[in-house]
Structure 1
Amino acid sequence: MTREKHHPEGSPVGRRVVLGLLGLGAAGVAIGPYLQRAESALAERDPSGLSGLLPGNNGFRYYSVVTSVPRRDDADYTLTVGGMVERPAAHRLADLRAMPQRRLVKDVQCVTGWRVPHTPFEGVPLSHLLDAAGVKAGAKAVRFDCFDGEYTESLTLEQARRDDVLVALRMQDNPISHDHGGPVRLYVAPMYFYKSAKWLSGITVTGAVEPGYWEQNGYDVDAWVGRSNGRSDEPTS
């Protein structure tokens, strides 16, 4: 059973609730065009993430674990890299855009069941940022913090250095929108989408894996698609 975590800004929705309500999406297909226009604003106010069950949005569902998330753009966005590194850094959007970019086209798979096939993501390989910072001996993992003030994620250092893990700036051939976690989000292609933290603001190299927000609420720390969270049959690509 999923353990719930409560905090002043709102409570997350457990995966049992999400799985139980996914049928609402299919039931609402006929009114999808009308709901889609209001969904972005609703997602901002809905701490449970249930607004993500509405149809539309190219198959994606929106989830947020807080009531609202500040917006960031070229003027005020910064991504910090620190912890067990030789050269801590703070990167603006222009800095990230000037770095080597990689494009991946993979299926996005949510642990709650929905899937968006052949989704392009583009961004800086996370390994590039780690190499530029100079990871110190003894480091074992990487923690990711988000400017919603609540969400965190973590990968082992080996996972973080995979060539299919990006600090993503673009999705579906457009800059990543605020609702999709922009201007910068993590993208961990081979894992369920909760590992791809939205609104990324900090990368911290650590001595051990620190379970992220949903791992503290019952999800698997290693979230390989088809090989975790009690599932064994989801397709990968």
Structure 2
Amino acid sequence: MGTWGIGGYERPDYSYDRESVEALRYGLELGINLIDTAEFYGAGHSEELVGEAIRGFERGEIFIISKVWPSHFSYNEAKNAARASAKRLGTYIDLYLLHWPGEDWGKIEETLHALEELVDEGLIRYIGVSNFDLELLKRSQEAMRRHEIVANEVKYSLKDRWPETSGLLDYMKREKIALIAYTPLEKGSLARNSCLGEIGKKYGKTSAQVALNYLIWEENVIAIPKAGRREHVEENAGAMGWRLLREDREKARGCV
């Protein structure tokens, strides 16, 4: 479940807090156990809502992702940012990502090393990156001293298949790195795609469910559609537990 816009965008928005928390909790009840957030989302309010939503659930069965913004790249600032995120969440962070590459490689490397220490301290469990191209991903892997890069969160959908065409997806499969796909429904446009709907009829699925299943068809790909409303969360959950036939997956590419 993605949370960009939940709790605000670049500043806090408290208008839909109750609805957002209910949607996240409903997703957990349906078995969607991964929640993606970031310190940048709603200036931290998104993390607060995630922390509220997970109360009462078994923590070990939930996987929480958060991210450090480039303005906090550096040894001390990255550590402080992670501690602040964990405080807002009220728990440790399963996967902590560098949100964007930034322009200073020295600060990226310094931040990665700080995160390795946070793993050793138990504040975070795994380290990843976000919006890194193939070259930067490889460079980040080489910079690691004691731990590995386990994920790269990038924009990926049926409409925007650059991870496939750039070789990034194939490389990440070989390296056993998870690809976390954000904007997987292209802000709802794929959910309204009639061609995908025709494919979905064969499986009793909607256009959105076909678009999401196309992505998670690959074993190392995780899609994180926004979890703002209960009905959308329920529809997203229906993308799991089945698999497009290879020929229908090929057809889906021709729908956009």
Aligning the two structures, in what range does the TM-score lie when normalised by the shorter sequence? under 0.3
TM-score for the superposition, normalised by structure 2: 0.23
Q: If each structure's helix is expressed as a fraction of its own residues, which one has the higher value?
A: 2
Structure of higher CA gyration radius: 2
TM-score, with length taken from structure 1: 0.24
Q: Compare the two structures and name the one with the higher strand fraction.
A: 1
